[in-house]
Amino acid sequence: MTTTTDDAAASGDARRAELAAVTCTEELARLLAEQYARADVSLRELELRTQRSGGIRLARTTCSDMLAGRRFPKKAMMVAFLRACQVPEEEVPDWERAWARVKMSQVSATQVSATQVSVARPAEPDEVERPLRPSPGDAGDGGAAAGRDVRPVMGRAFRVQRPTRRRVVLVAGPAAALGLVAVIGFTAFTGPPPPRTVADDGRAFTTGGSSRFSVTVDPAHTEIRLTRRLDAIIGGQTATIAVDGALAGVWQPLPAETRGWREQSVVLPPALTRGHRRFTITNTFVSSEMDFNEFTYFVDQKVGGEWSRADTVDVGPYHPGSEAAHQYRITRQNWAGKRDLSYLE
């Protein structure tokens, strides 16, 4: 016999499936409108509920535009609406992930350039190629951590990739009207890098998590390039990049490979960094087969037409000094440890 609990579970599964398929404002607005219909309340009542809760003000006109698809809401506004509609708290992260996908699709839609930039450039030998002090083992368990092979959450086997030129869409440049960024296509030259091994430690965060750190640059710069070293065994690592709270780019997903180093780079929008000596980078989890790992961030600057290294952020439990100097913070961490890996060919 089918019970009310079974019906609710089936309904929740169907809603999660619908949210997982959302890629545009219209689809998100349709699901929000359906949620509003289920709540069976007036916009005035929703506005009063948010006022009583002391949270963000949910203006009726703003809410109406959001439900009609005329306005893409801020994430905080959407979450306030959902809570006012009494959506179960455990469903809110599914809505937040759907919102993030729509935001990324908006960024991609502003594509204005096809500039080619090399992405998978390994760090120069004098950058961080140094041994870590001995350790009895990794600091914790989790996605990027275990020395054994890690299987992705979705159960898909990892693929060992032959050297290829992979197209990776990353973000750069301001978009005039929306205050977002324009997309630049980066060609990731994934092989063959110098065949060498680098010891490095790092951290990883998962659903609902983020990392944040501050970097120092020459205020006379005209361009800033941010490069992240990652363990490529985890596929689909996707996160948004913000500069002082403003959307600046997206770490686009790469396919899972054998365990080894890759590097990914994004040129930050000059409008967000120009004239600044110091700014804060925030990486926010969107999706992954397991988690989002980070070992070292390299910050390069272009000053007077010449590129140079401006800053290096050594992430990980064996670099507390670097983390403190850069005000590094992480939420929803699920791994911390070290790796002794070679760059993949």
Whole-prediction pTM value?
0.52
Any idea of the CA torsion for 118, 119, 122, 127, to the nearest 10 degrees?
100
Helices of type H across 1-118? 4-20, 25-39, 43-53, 60-67, 75-84, 92-109
Q: What is the pLDDT of residue 14?
A: 80
Record the tokens describing residue 207, joined without a space.
């659903």
Q: What is the pLDDT of residue 301?
A: 97
Q: What is the pLDDT of residue 109?
A: 58
Q: Rounded to whole angstroms, how far apart are CA atoms 80 and 48?
A: 12
Q: What is the pLDDT of residue 189?
A: 38
Q: Rounded to whole angstroms, how far apart are CA atoms 253 and 127?
A: 25
Residues contacting 155, CB < 8 A, separation 6+: none
Q: What is the pLDDT of residue 292?
A: 98
Q: What is the pLDDT of residue 22?
A: 87
* Extents of the domains making up the chain: 4-109, 125-342
Handedness of CA 114, 188, 203, 324 (dihedral sign): negative
Q: Which amino acid is residue 275, in one-letter code? A: G
Q: What is the pLDDT of residue 195?
A: 53
Q: Rounded to whole angstroms, how far apart are CA atoms 332 and 206?
A: 6
Q: What is the pLDDT of residue 168?
A: 38
Record the tokens describing residue 36, joined without a space.
């509003």
Question: In b/e form, how buried is each residue of 244-277, taking b as 16+ CB within 10 angstroms?
Answer: eebbbbbbbbbebbebbbbbbbbbbbbebbeebe
Average confidence (pLDDT) per 10 residues, the chain, 345 residues: 52 82 87 86 86 81 82 88 91 91 72 40 42 42 42 37 39 38 37 69 96 98 98 94 93 93 96 97 94 98 96 97 97 96 90
Q: What is the pLDDT of residue 10?
A: 59
